Amino acid sequence: MITGKSSVYFMISNPIDHVKSPGMFNKLFADEAIDAVMVPICVEADRFDTAWDYFKAMTNLKGIIVSVPFKANAAKAADVRNPRAQRVGTANAVIRDADGRLRADNFDGAGFLEGMRRSGHQLSGRKVLLVGAGGAGASIGFCIAEAGATHLTIHDIDPNRAGDLAARISAEFPKCRVEVGEPNPEGHNVIINATPIGLKADDPMPLQADKLDASMTVVDIIMDPKDTALLRHAKSLGCPVQYGQPMMDCQMELLGEFLRVREQGDHK
């Protein structure tokens, strides 16, 4: 039961109907008898600043999970940016510090890496194709280089965005060869779809799927549907695959620590 003492968390996105975090966190709150609630909210893209002022005014709002298309907005608007949010320029989590300042961080890449590790997929020494240089893709790209990949090819529908990300990753991780390229899997060991393409049943393939072969590990960060068209095709070729849910599961652990959910509110 929600009370006047309940700690409040928001999940902000547009659209909002596909998000999983509120259900996962509210189950955690119920299972562990934590007096807190996470509420999904949908804001028009051009009203983000208005919503942010409202967030800052809410003294019982303890934290926010941020999704598309607001990750860059949140990083820019935050009073403080932790190193990952600073280098990527996007944030997917915001917490209210004791002094009232809103602090941003990014756990997309960290959750991705931990999910890959737990599933036994190696990135060190690999050649990786990353399709998508947006909020999640940018965070994943930095973490791929940090994990020891030797080569990273980035493709995005916006070549300028891909080029900017490649330059920033290369500057921080010069041992990884980073370049902008076509969504062609040939010559790569690990293929990653970090775009929303695949959410809808009639979406096209996000990359040149006819050039996949069984030696490649194929990853799709989309959670619903679990089996995207890309992953179904990859499995039909005998490719090892990685679903989107492990990234979310690992992110939830990291987000829970950052948002201090077990410290907020009275336990019932």
Choose, from 27, 56, 62, 71, the residue flagged as catalytic: 71
A 10 A CB-CB count for 36 gives 25
Looking at the DSSP assignment, which residues form a beta bridge with residue 64?
10, 94
* Backbone torsions φ then ψ of 65, nearest 5 degrees: -100, 135
62 is a catalytic site residue: no
* Torsion over CA: 70, 221, 81, 20 (sign): positive
Structural Rg of the chain based on CA atoms? 19
Q: How far apart are the first and last CA of the chain?
A: 9
Cα gap 151→126, rounded to integer Å:
7
Residues 9 and 62: beta-carbon distance below 8 Å: yes
106-140: b (≥16 Cβ within 10 Å) or e: bbbbbbbbbbbeeeebebeebbbbbbbbbbbbbbb
Give the residue numbers marked as catalytic: 71
